[in-house]
Structure 1
């Protein structure tokens, strides 16, 4: 498991950058500086964490009908077993959840034996630590941090609390805790606010034109989102993300082939020229600043891999809705893109296409009849599931249910969204099988029901072969 710092959320950060409509480059806030922490552990540790979390998820699902998931987890870890069933013991030769069937042929482990032995030795200590954090509510656990500094036990307890109880929120899906739980699960670093402000003050990114073409249509039919999040806020966030991805891409290029960035004084000069073009109205000045540097060549630059892809606006929307500041939303969104699903925005979105292929594969395993019927109608996941894979189902209303769905995904891995899409198909199988034109039903998925989707996905996990599950874990990387 990767090292994770568990620092209390600074009070100043919560009040900074509230969701008020502001024109581009007009944010004013008190500078807030926090000690940055080391980035998460290397790629292999992230894969290990996902596999471990998924194993724990399957084990918890087996006992979901009993009184306490946390108590069952502790009981399970205290029972001797030849397989790796501890909280931190997840490997590709995963035993099937919800099943007492004989263990299938062992798949060679991708982890060295010394790592597996080390994980196995941690089970007893972690079980004792879970007893201490079990008595704390999720809100208190986030606010006060793990007792005795045991971050690993606190993380597993938090995951089980989300799985069993969910995150407390009102009818609109608003919660004072949710964004911090997401940041913890995503292992997002604490961000210096000045860094975000600096990205905004650089002006329009090379992807700015494409961003402006998408933001005005983001969740247009959702009154909750439109009431809380302004388009200006969404533009700022996406533009800052585009700058960050652009800079990372430039750093990977050879020095001789790097394109020079627009100097800051040039940006200021251009902004001044546009503002002076119409001095008759302050509103015109603000609009001019918002539209500064939307150049014709932005589209050509934005089409380069790893900068901005259509659909990122919908993926960013729940972060802005749940966060108490743009900085929090930026840190969580950037971490998701760069560490959890970089394949979704790289090249020709290869990660998304791998995910779509896995939707077809999993559906054929789980429900061969439904899979065959959709195939005869010429319906593959590439046709109907592309938005759901790319946006982690954020494209399917209502928004409060999307937030609850993301609670589950971030607790046990965004890769589980593949199983959740199949779960939605299973939930509507009767309508699909009796429809002469199922494509009409799949053009717009039924309203998301996060709890039912989660329970169905937990049942599906036991049916997935180990090699297919490993592909699901790694498809977005």
Structure 2
């Protein structure tokens, strides 16, 4: 919209408006009508405008009728030139008919979105999945400045092979009220990505509580029930040890550590941010912590500690000088990379770049987060060497730049032994 004229709103009973001022005001009003509404066309009458009858090349829209006048007070001749210019001006680009897309952003759909919407050709699922993964790596998910995409959440569901979850199943878990881990959940949710305005604007603490509590109930229900007949305490302990699956094993003395551990709130946050509903986020998050990274929800966080050891090992391979320097300062991954391993780098802003990184991790395996962390270290290598206090540098990583991190992480893969990059590590 044109900038308001300096005299806008200053003319009054004591300051008569000049003809030039009034012409300027009419030009601004005409521009506003043309650029903010199509109502002008609906209000027109059949009598053609004198200014338009001499311009045979001007139309309201491609293939549309000649513009006509509305019922209004006739303007003075001193305003004729400005009026003709306003009516014959081309329609601004954002008002032109846009190509219809699933994204709704007026651009042609990408190959990635087309493949996701149309599915693989000839029903070749495996070939289509490989092509989908390649497109994730070679292109980028279409998203706005906030990282929001209309199809990203469906891409994640396809890549992780997660079937739809009935909404009633999720609501049933929500309506059960507080789980045994409810207090711990409430102690963590209020500080989840507390300094990220994008997350705070889109995701409420209430939705985060509901989702984590529903997952806690789901994990609680999956735990084996103790037998009704009385048994000795020793025999009961042995039964639990034998029958409890490793993914939900408990630490002694912690009754709810297997259904919620600190850090799950941050790991859950990007799912809620990207999802179009809580049910989608619930399906993704529950599958992720039980199937992809079950060690992350054990009481001792076994999977996280294994990941930290892998960070040290991979860094020794791809950047031995940096690894030796950090070791000489007693700076192991346990001290600086714990949050990055636990949350798949979701603890490092900005959130749109986290989502871009997760597109890659879900396509090729969350275990590659280890190499992505190593890539972040290599990118700040010079800063670490030059700092008098490298531990302070490592206390918070620089803002994520997913494209560069992914490219560097992929370049590391041939240098690392395959046994160090298994998904179950």
Short-chain TM bin: 0.5 to 0.7
Deviations along 1:370-428, whole A, 9 cap, x unmatched? Answer: 11111111110001000000000000000000000000000000000001000100000
Corresponding residue of 2:106: none
1:315 and 2:315 aligned: no
Is the Cα–Cα contact under 8 Å of residues 206 and 301 in structure 1 kept in the other structure?
Answer: no
Q: Distance in 2 between matches of 1:407 and 1:257?
A: 50
Other structure's SS at 2:116 match? helix
Deviations along 1:240-259, whole A, 9 cap, x unmatched? Answer: 011111111235x556699x
How far residue 190 of structure 1 moved from its aligned partner, in angstroms, is: 1.2
Q: Distance in 1 between matches of 2:206 and 2:254?
A: 20
Q: Distance in 1 between matches of 2:150 and 2:257?
A: 36
Larger RCO of the pair (alpha carbons < 8 Å, separation 6+): 1
Q: Distance in 2 between matches of 1:208 and 1:384?
A: 29
Question: Structure 1 residue aligned with 2:408, among 456, 469, 472?
Answer: 456
Is the Cα–Cα contact under 8 Å of residues 302 and 308 in structure 1 kept in the other structure?
Answer: no
Other structure's SS at 2:415 match? coil
User: Following superposition of structure 1 onto structure 2, how do residues 48-447 of structure 1 map, counting pairs within 5 Å?
Assistant: 137-250=111-224, 304-447=256-399
Other structure's SS at 1:474 match? coil
CA spacing shift, 1:257–1:205, aligned 2, 3 Å: farther
Q: Distance in 2 between matches of 1:417 and 1:340?
A: 12
Other structure's SS at 1:461 match? helix
Is the Cα–Cα contact under 8 Å of residues 156 and 362 in structure 2 kept in the other structure?
Answer: yes
The normalised TM-score by structure 1 is 0.60
Other structure's SS at 2:194 match? coil
How far residue 321 of structure 1 moved from its aligned partner, in angstroms, is: 0.5
Deviates more, 1:139-148 or 1:318-327: 139-148
Other structure's SS at 2:259 match? coil
1:474 and 2:418 aligned: no
* Cα RMSD, aligned residues only: 1.9
Q: Distance in 2 between matches of 1:170 and 1:257?
A: 60
Q: How many residues align?
A: 297
How far residue 466 of structure 1 moved from its aligned partner, in angstroms, is: 2.9
Q: Distance in 2 between matches of 1:358 and 1:218?
A: 26
User: Following superposition of structure 1 onto structure 2, how do residues 37-48 of structure 1 map, counting pairs within 5 Å?
Assistant: none
Deviations along 1:317-346, whole A, 9 cap, x unmatched? Answer: 000100000000000111111110001112
Is the Cα–Cα contact under 8 Å of residues 315 and 374 in structure 2 kept in the other structure?
Answer: yes
How far residue 137 of structure 1 moved from its aligned partner, in angstroms, is: 2.0
How far residue 302 of structure 1 moved from its aligned partner, in angstroms, is: 6.4
Other structure's SS at 1:250 match? coil
CA spacing shift, 1:193–1:434, aligned 2, 3 Å: same
Q: Distance in 2 between matches of 1:337 and 1:254?
A: 27
CA spacing shift, 1:348–1:257, aligned 2, 3 Å: farther
Q: Distance in 1 between matches of 2:192 and 2:288?
A: 19
Other structure's SS at 1:205 match? coil
Is the Cα–Cα contact under 8 Å of residues 393 and 402 in structure 1 kept in the other structure?
Answer: yes
Is the Cα–Cα contact under 8 Å of residues 353 and 400 in structure 2 kept in the other structure?
Answer: yes
Q: Distance in 2 between matches of 1:199 and 1:376?
A: 50
How far residue 467 of structure 1 moved from its aligned partner, in angstroms, is: 2.9
Corresponding residue of 2:58: none
The normalised TM-score by structure 2 is 0.67
How far residue 149 of structure 1 moved from its aligned partner, in angstroms, is: 1.7
Other structure's SS at 1:239 match? helix
Is the Cα–Cα contact under 8 Å of residues 360 and 371 in structure 1 kept in the other structure?
Answer: yes
How far residue 430 of structure 1 moved from its aligned partner, in angstroms, is: 0.4
Q: Distance in 1 between matches of 2:316 and 2:255?
A: 35
CA spacing shift, 1:434–1:303, aligned 2, 3 Å: farther
Is the Cα–Cα contact under 8 Å of residues 368 and 421 in structure 2 kept in the other structure?
Answer: no
How far residue 460 of structure 1 moved from its aligned partner, in angstroms, is: 0.8
CA spacing shift, 1:355–1:254, aligned 2, 3 Å: farther
